[in-house]
């Protein structure tokens, strides 16, 4: 999958991610990887960073995932949120 322009995620979904990080809850995270393939992992969210105008979440295992590549986190689907 070629890198696409970053699409900011819904602020309410971002708030849900922050709550999960604060609670240090291990979550099921489903996202698209760099090839567009759906991946599922289980990890805690430990931080959020911005690099070159792209937002990422950092997981307990050190993995970094672009927020606009997320499909769902802890059963909460990104597509279900609207501004």
Q: Dump pLDDT digits (tens) for 18-41.
A: 999 999 999 999 999 888 899 999
pLDDT at 30: 97
Whole-structure pTM value: 0.87
Q: 4: closest CA among 64, 67, 48?
A: 67
Q: Dump pLDDT digits (tens) for 50-65.
A: 999 999 999 999 999 9
DSSP string computed for 32-59? E-TTS-EEEEEEEEEEEEEETTEEEEEE
Rg of the Cα atoms in the chain: 12
Q: Within a 10 A sphere around the Cβ of 9, how many other Cβ atoms?
A: 17
Q: 20: closest CA among 72, 82, 69, 55?
A: 72
Sketch out the chain's domains with CATH numbers: 11-78 (2.30.30.100)
């Amino acid at each position: 999958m070629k890198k696409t322009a970053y699409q900011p995620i819904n602020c309410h979904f971002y708030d849900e991610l922050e709550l999960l990080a604060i609670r240090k809850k291990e979550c099921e995270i489903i996202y698209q990887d760099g090839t567009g393939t759906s991946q599922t992992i289980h990890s805690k969210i430990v931080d959020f960073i911005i690099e070159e105008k792209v937002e990422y979440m950092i997981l307990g295992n050190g993995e970094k995932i672009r927020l606009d590549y997320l499909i769902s986190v802890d059963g909460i689907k990104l597509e279900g949120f609207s501004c």
